[in-house]
Amino acid sequence: MNKKIEPSKIAYDILHKNENLSRRDALKIMGLTGGAAMMMGAPISAEASVSTDKKAKIVIVGGGAGGIMAMARLKSAVPNGEIILIAPNEIHLYQPGQVFMAAGLLTESDIQKSNSDFIPNDVTWIKDEVTAFDPDNNKVMTQKNGDVSYDFLVVATGLEYHYEGIEGMSADLVGKHGISSVYLNDPVAGTAKGGVVTYEWFKEVRKAAEAASPEKPIEVICTQPDTPIKCGGAPQKILYLSDDYLRGNGPEGGSDVSKNASFSFCKKGTTLFGIPEYNKTLVDEVTPMYGNIEDKWNHVLRKIDPENKIATFEHTYQTKGEYDADLEEYDMIDHTETVELKYDFIHVVPPMRPVKAVAESLLGWQKGNAKGWLACDQNTLQHIKYKNVFGIGDILGIPKGKTGGSARHHGPILVENLVSVLEGKEPKAQFDGYTVCPLKTEYGKIMLAEFNYDGLAPSFPVLDPSRPRWMWWAFDLYMLKPMYWYLMMRGLM
C-alpha cells in the first residue's frame, strides 16, 4: 500500500498573498474555523483583548516561537510600552517541520523565513545574544551591546542540545557512520541540518534493507534521553516513519522491505507515553503493527563508538528481594548494568538542557530535576522570586509544555499576567499545562496527543483522541505551517 504524499501549497499561498487578513478571515479562507486551532490547542483561557495604557520598558530575550509570539501580543497589549527584542537570528525556523523534512515531505527552505517579517519597525531589535542575567538590578548583559535595562523581562531563550553529554558523540557526527538526529539545527544561522540528514538516513536505511534479508536483518536503533526534551514525541515519530518508509509508504514508494530490518527503541521508563490512553494505542496497536520493533525499557544511551558502530546503554532494572510479610510484598532491589548494542544505523536524540546564561543566573531553579530551568510558577508563568520576570516556551522549568502548542498557550497567559502586574494587580490567568504532540504513527496518520497537568485534554472530546487519523496528518502537514507563520507569529492565534 503506497501513500505518496505531496505537500499542498494552496493554504500557504492564500495566506502569503493576504498577510493583512484578520484572524477570522484567515481561518475562513483555510476552511478551518472551529477546528483548525485544534492542532495547537483551543480555546485559550486568558483574556485575548487585555491591554493597558501604562508605559513600561519590556525586554524579550529570544527570537524563536515563544519570543516572537510574546512580542506580537505585548505590542498590542501595551501600546505605550517600549518593546525590545534581543535575538541574534535573522532567520526564523519552523522547527516542527524538521520531522516532515526527515520524511521527505518538506525541504529546509520550506521551514525558513526572515525574522524581520515578524518584527515591526517600532520594536527595537538588538541582534545580539544575552550572556548573563542580573535580575537584582533589572538588566541583562549582551555579547556586543553592553547592558540592557528593563522594567519587565520575558525569558524566551529556548533550550540547548547537548550531544557531548553522550561520550564519543558530537553534533559533527550527525550524517556520518550511520548516525542521524532530526533535532540538529542552528537557530542563530537558521539552518536545520538534522532534517536534511535524516531524510538521507531514511534512504540509506532503505537501501541497506533492500540488500538484507529477514534472516540477517539490518539493526536500527532509535534513542530517547533521560532529560526533558523538546517535543517528547519526536523520537517515536522518527521510529515509526523510518519503519513505514521501509514498507514503501514514503514519497518515493517502493516494495515492502521492513522484514529485513530490526528496530530497537531505547528510552528511560517502561511506557511509550505518560498518558495511559495514548500509551495503550502505541503499545497495543502501533508497535505490533510494524512487527519488527522491540522496546528496550530503561536503556539510556551513554556512549557511542562511531567507527565500530557500538552504542553503550545504561540499563536499570529491578529484581525481587526478601518477602515482607507485614506489607505482603517483596522488597525490590535496584540494579544498573552496562549494555553494548551493535547497530547499522542509529537515530540519536541528544540530552537537552537550559541555556547556559539562564542556568548560571539567579533566574534558574537551584536544585532538583528542574535545576537551571527558569524558576517560574507553573500556572502564572511568573518568576517565583522576581515578579517582573516571566517566561515562555522551552526554557520554563515547569512539569509540562516543551512544544509549540504549549508556547501558543503560554503567550496570552503571560501577557495577561504581565499587564496585571504592570497595573499593580495580582496575576490571575492560569496555564493548565496544556501540551499537544501530533504523534506521527505512519505516513498519513497522526495521533493528536493533547494533555495537561490533570491528564487527557482533547480539544474535541467527541473524537477518540487515542486514534491515529488522516485528518490530523492533513492539518499538520498542509495547514499548520501557514497558521504558524501568519497567525501565531503575529499574535492572532
Q: What is the pLDDT of residues 420-452, one digit of tens each?
A: 999 999 999 999 999 999 999 999 999 999 999
In the structure, what pLDDT confidence band is assigned to residue 176 with cuts at 50, 70 and 90? very high
In the structure, what pLDDT confidence band is assigned to residue 8 with cuts at 50, 70 and 90? very low
Amino acid 221 reads: I
* CA separation for the pair 483, 39 (Å, rounded): 10
190 against 8, higher pLDDT: 190
- 292-327 residue pLDDT tens: 999 999 999 999 999 999 999 999 998 888 888 887
* CA separation for the pair 58, 71 (Å, rounded): 9
In the structure, what pLDDT confidence band is assigned to residue 330 with cuts at 50, 70 and 90? confident
* Catalytically annotated residue among 222, 231, 266, 376: 231
In the structure, what pLDDT confidence band is assigned to residue 3 with cuts at 50, 70 and 90? very low
Q: What is the mean pLDDT of residues 344-373?
A: 95
Omega of the bond leading into 79 within 30 degrees of 0 (cis): no
CA distances from 467 to 277, 288, 441, 470 (A): 10, 15, 10, 10
* CA separation for the pair 161, 173 (Å, rounded): 14
Say what the pTM is. 0.91
Estimate the crossing angle of helix 193-211 against helix 234-246, to 10 degrees.
40
437 tagged catalytic: yes
- 35-85 residue pLDDT tens: 455 445 544 544 457 999 999 999 999 999 999 999 999 999 999 999 999
What local confidence, expressed as pLDDT, does residue 48 receive?
A: 53
List of residues 6+ apart from 483 with CB closer than 8 A: 30, 32, 36, 39, 40, 493
List of residues 6+ apart from 317 with CB closer than 8 A: 298, 334, 335, 337
Query: Considering only CA atoms, which of 241, 259, 261, 260 is closest in space to residue 251?
Result: 241
Q: Which 8-state DSSP code applies to residue 37?
A: G
- 223-240 residue pLDDT tens: 999 999 999 999 999 999
Q: What is the mean pLDDT of residues 356-380?
A: 94
First to last CA, the chain: 37
Q: What are phi and psi of 125, to 5 degrees?
A: -105, 110
Q: Which 8-state DSSP code applies to residue 171?
A: G
Query: Considering only CA atoms, which of 365, 386, 377, 383 is closest in space to residue 430?
Result: 377
Q: How many CA atoms lie within 13 A of 88 on its CB side?
A: 14
* Catalytically annotated residue among 222, 266, 376, 437: 437
What local confidence, expressed as pLDDT, does residue 23 receive?
A: 42
What local confidence, expressed as pLDDT, does residue 41 receive?
A: 52
What local confidence, expressed as pLDDT, does residue 492 receive?
A: 87
Q: What are phi and psi of 256, to 5 degrees?
A: -85, 110
Q: For the CA atoms of 234, 238, 241, 242, what is the dihedral angle to 10 degrees?
A: 180
Q: Which H or E run contains 335?
A: strand 329-342
Q: In what order do the strands lie in the sheet with 293-297?
A: 179-180, 345-347, 218-223, 261-267, 293-297
Contact by Cβ (8 Å): 171, 189: no
Sign of CA dihedral 120, 121, 124, 129: positive
Residue 388: pLDDT above 50?
Answer: yes
Amino acid 379 reads: N
Lowest mean pLDDT among 38-42, 114-118, 176-180, 238-242: 38-42
